[in-house]
A and B are shown apart, each in its own frame.
Chain A
């Protein structure tokens, strides 16, 4: 019995992703020993930052049986309008920046919740709609121009570091302080999902919509909570993106939604809802980031990046799906 449990643990989705990450890292490190350096870790963390926030929100929504493809558009809208309005009214406050961006995101999330929870529009269609709305609005407003003068105090955060180290070659690599936000979010979301009734309701709704209703769960309210909360967090992710890149671009986040969904699904979240964990999602984001950042180090041309990510998605999701099928067909106890 214990051996079986041990085997189950070692063959869990999370562990499979860990194996792939280890093999990939060794491979990259073998070809390019420079890979094993603190600077790589800092760089990887920085690349993972925005995607992790997106992926955590996406995971919650997928667990609840929904899907959301509007994150990049919402984040772009929020960051651009925030920076633009702050410049226009000469507001220079970190608090306002985060609050405003989060507020824009929350408003879009509320619209998603209205469409999905109240009008009962399928989540994919609803969020495709809001994605296009948000993206269209910001493109019209911006004329496609990016803003490079960020309010000073906001911009200053880009120079705040948690750690800094000097490399052997004299260069300096640092870990941005913003990384604390996704780390805090991971802990918070893990706790909510596992140790609050709200979290268990999210799993229940994704496991069986009707059973959840019969059990007396207010499914609509649960959907409102998660879609608006996701909107809020995505809005914050937007301003984080602005700080990291030191400009406000109306559309450079667009297209990230598929990568986000891929990372979530590779991390063991079932696309059909009801299953998923924070640790798996973080591992999924790590794997996708490693692949997109380091293929070049293996001497693989950049064009292959999309192909490689596609391969990981196909293989990763096949393993998850085959395992789910095996569970469905296995003798019941």
Chain B
């Protein structure tokens, strides 16, 4: 008989008239890994904050370790062993690893003196428990994201965590780091700690979860053992619609749009040549540092190439700065949409017209009504979920933010659209929408380049894929003639290179 640690019964929560949680039930057993899945905005975050005592439920019961909770607050939650690891880990970059791990405990028991030796000992003990090996005296600003996460986990263990909630823990991790994290989670599970992982990444859920609860629009849609769900039913529960894995395989290609010959940039890439025809969606992949992003930067003039030729519609062009790229109607959706791609505190409309504002300047004044109209058209066409074009981009979910960034560039009517990691942090439904938009664009003759390390995304959405290694084109393949395993082998360098024209 499994022992129940946490039981939520019929939880309701309303914010300013928005019914965020509509009677959610959740049961988490000791020593189990429970995935909480759902698209952005389904109420996952609200639910976590209810469990951690930050939000008070309007209605419903919370039972922890068999005790029904009354007047439940964050301090109670911590005392009862509930620890949340947020996406930004809430670590202090300016303090040492040891201090970060030991500080919360010291604060909790109300210590007045700082004992450096004890902190170090506690930190080493906690790290030993999960098999992490970090120098306790190094500042956290010098360690990688994955290690910061380990610090956050150690801190939670030190606080006698009985239930560990991880909010989208793998977003910023590489595949190898994810594997490490999952090993650590496995260790914690074997110690009888209940674990809730919030995620929308289907592969990860299948590789680690024991049980699964799916939320949609603030309500439970399904819960049960992971074995009871197959992928199609899982996706359908999560999105509320059936999403078919489409493969983009254009039957015939049109005229050549872009041709790159022997492009070089010192220290980034060398002798890169490829071409792109109407209807093509070209994928570029490669390990970090292989030059995959640098090619995009060169094409968009951020870090222009030193030598080589770029032809657009059979005419040679030179791109020395971003202005040149925009002049030739190149568009670039950067990797980090939060810092590079959008004005978070401006409205959707302002963001959508940001790259094409001169088109609305007529006779010395801006035509606001036309701007709003364009924005509203894009909202409709690419299905941005929002009541109007007025809300700040910050208030949108990740997927919708990304759609706004894409709309911004589509509004420039680009000849070439380069997307770097277009669906990182975007949920399945929005991902499918974005892919559909790209396919439609390709069909109308816009050249599309997708840079990504999500191999299944590339195979599904690109008809040609370039694998980069150490700054050079390692192989160029037709997606129809490959699969994920083969592509992964090429990426890792365990398969022989192949080049097709």
A-facing residues in B434-451 (Cβ within 8 Å) = none
B235 to chain A, nearest CB (A): 33
A211 to B94, CA, bound (A): 12
Q: A199-B114, A216-B78 are in contact. Are A274 and B94 (CB under 8 A)?
A: yes
Name the CB-closest residue of B to A216: B107
1/0 contact trace for A209-234 toward B, CB 8 Å? 01110111100000000000000000
Interface residues of A in 128-167 (CB under 8 A from B): none
- Contact of A332 with B142 at beta-carbon distance under 8 Å, contacts A207-B92, A208-B93 already known: yes
B91, B114, B138, B141: the one contacting A194 at CB < 8 Å is B114
User: Cβ of B315 < 8 Å from any Cβ of A?
Assistant: no
Q: Interface size bucket, B side? A: 20 to 34
**Interface 9-residue window, one of B98-106, B261-269, B347-355, B485-493:** B98-106
Known: A203-B95, A204-B95. A332 touches B90 (CB 8 A): no
- Residue B329 is within 8 A (CB to CB) of chain A in the complex: no
Mostly, the A contact residues are helix
Chain B residues 46 to 102 lying within 8 A of chain A, measured CB to CB, are 74-75, 78, 86, 88-95, 99
* Chain B 156-183 interface 0/1 with A at a Cβ cutoff of 8 Å (1 = within): 0000000000000000000000000000
Task: Say which residue of A197, A201, A208 sits within 8 Å of B113 (CB atoms).
Answer: A197
CB proximity of A1 to chain B, nearest CB, Å: 10
Smallest distance from the beta carbon of B166 to chain A beta carbons, Å? Answer: 15
Contacts of B144 in A (CB 8 A): 332-333
Query: In the complex the two chains form, is A197's CB within 8 Å of B111's CB?
Result: yes
Residue of A nearest to B135 (CB): A333
In the assembled complex, the Cα of A195 lies from the Cα of B74 at a distance in Å of 28
B104 touches A215 (CB 8 A): yes
The A-contacting residues of B in range 370-420, CB under 8 angstroms, are: none
A333 to chain B, nearest CB (A): 6
Q: A208–B138 contact, CB under 8 A?
A: no
Give the residues in chain B near A273, CB-CB below 8 Å.
Answer: 94
Identify which of B103, B114, B143 contacts A215 (C-beta below 8 A): B103
Q: Mark A32-73, 1 if CB is under 8 A from B, else 0.
A: 000000000000000000000000000000000000000000
| Chain B residues, Cβ within 8 Å of A274 | 92-94
Tell me which residues from 313 to 333 in chain A have a Cβ below 8 Å from any Cβ of chain B: 327-328, 330, 332-333
Task: Determine whether the beta carbon of A204 is less than 8 Å from that of B114.
Answer: no
| B108 interface hit (Cβ, 8 Å) | yes
Q: Which residues of A contact B106 (CB under 8 A)?
A: 197
Q: Render A271-314 as a binary contact track against B, CB cut-off 8 A, 1 for contact.
A: 00111000000000000000000000000000000000000000
Inter-chain contact A197/B95, CB cutoff 8 Å: no
Inter-chain contacts of B86 with A (CB < 8 A):
214
- Please tell me if the beta carbons of A197 and B143 are within 8 angstroms of each other in the complex: no
In contact, A207 and B90 (Cβ under 8 angstroms): no
Q: When chains A and B are docked, how far (Å) is the Cα of A195 from the Cα of B106?
A: 13
Determine which residue in A203, A211, A273, A330 has the highest number of CB atoms from chain B within 10 A of its CB, and name it.
A211
List the A residue with the shortest CB-CB distance to B139.
A327
Report the minimal beta-carbon distance from B418 to chain A, rounded to whole angstroms.
24
- Cβ contacts under 8 Å, B111 to chain A: 197
Contact of B95 with A330 in the complex, beta carbons under 8 Å: no
- Separation of A194 and B103 alpha carbons in the complex (Å): 13
A208 / chain B contacts, CB cutoff of 8 Å? 90-93
Please, which residues of chain A bring their CB within 8 A of the CB of B141?
A: 327-328
With a cutoff of 8 Å between Cβ atoms, the chain B residues found around residue A215 in the complex are: 90, 103-104, 107
Which residue of chain B has the shortest Cβ distance to A204 in the bound complex? B92
A105 within 8 A of B: no
B158 to chain A, nearest CB (A): 12
In the bound complex, CA of A207 to CA of B103 (Å): 13
A275 to B141, CA, bound (A): 12
Which of B91, B93, B142 is in CB contact (< 8 Å) with A330? B142
**Per-residue A-contact encoding for B108-130, CB less than 8 Å = 1, 0 else:** 10011110100000000000000
By a CB distance below 8 angstroms, the chain B residues around A210 are: 88, 90
Which A residues lie within 8 Å of B74 (CB)? 216
Q: Which residue on A lies nearest to B134, using beta carbons?
A: A333
Which residues from chain A contact B259 at a C-beta distance below 8 Å?
none
A88, CB-defined interface residue at 8 Å: no
B309 within 8 A of A: no
A187-210 with Cβ < 8 A to chain B = 194-201, 203-204, 206-208, 210
- Is B147 among interface residues, defined by CB-CB distance under 8 A? yes
Contact among A198, A212, A217, A333 with B143 in the assembled complex (CB-CB below 8 Å): A333
Contact yes or no, A197 B107, CB < 8 A: yes
Q: List B contacts of A275 (CB < 8 A).
A: 94
| Nearest Cβ on chain B to A188's Cβ, whole angstroms | 15
For residue B112, which residues in chain A have a CB less than 8 angstroms away from its CB?
196-198
Closest to A1 in B: B135
Q: Chain A residues near B95: list those with CB within 8 A.
A: 200, 203-204, 207
- Tell me, in angstroms, the Cα distance from A37 to B302 when the chains sit together: 58
Q: Is the CB–CB distance between B138 and A333 below 8 Å?
A: yes
- Please give the distance in Å from B91's CB to the nearest CB on chain A: 6
Q: Which residue of B lies closest to A214 (CB)?
A: B90
A208 to B95, CA, bound (A): 10
Give complex CA distance A172, B141 in Å: 52
Set of chain B residues within 8 Å of A216, measured between Cβ atoms = 74-75, 78, 104, 107-108
CB pair B114 A197 closer than 8 Å: yes
Q: Which residues of B contact A (CB under 8 A)?
A: 74-75, 78, 86, 88-95, 99, 103-104, 106-108, 111-114, 116, 135, 138, 141-145, 147
Q: A195-B116, A211-B92 are in contact. List 6 more A-B contacts (CB 8 A).
A: A203-B94, A208-B92, A210-B88, A211-B88, A216-B104, A273-B94
Query: A residues near B, CB below 8 A?
Result: 194-201, 203-204, 206-208, 210-212, 214-217, 273-275, 327-328, 330, 332-333
User: Nearest 10 A-B pairs (CB), nearest first?
Assistant: A274-B94, A332-B144, A207-B94, A211-B90, A207-B92, A214-B90, A195-B114, A204-B92, A215-B104, A200-B114
24 pairs across A/B with beta carbons < 8 Å?
A195-B113, A195-B114, A197-B111, A199-B114, A200-B99, A200-B114, A204-B92, A206-B94, A207-B94, A207-B95, A208-B90, A211-B88, A211-B90, A211-B91, A214-B90, A215-B90, A215-B104, A216-B108, A217-B107, A274-B93, A328-B141, A332-B144, A333-B135, A333-B144
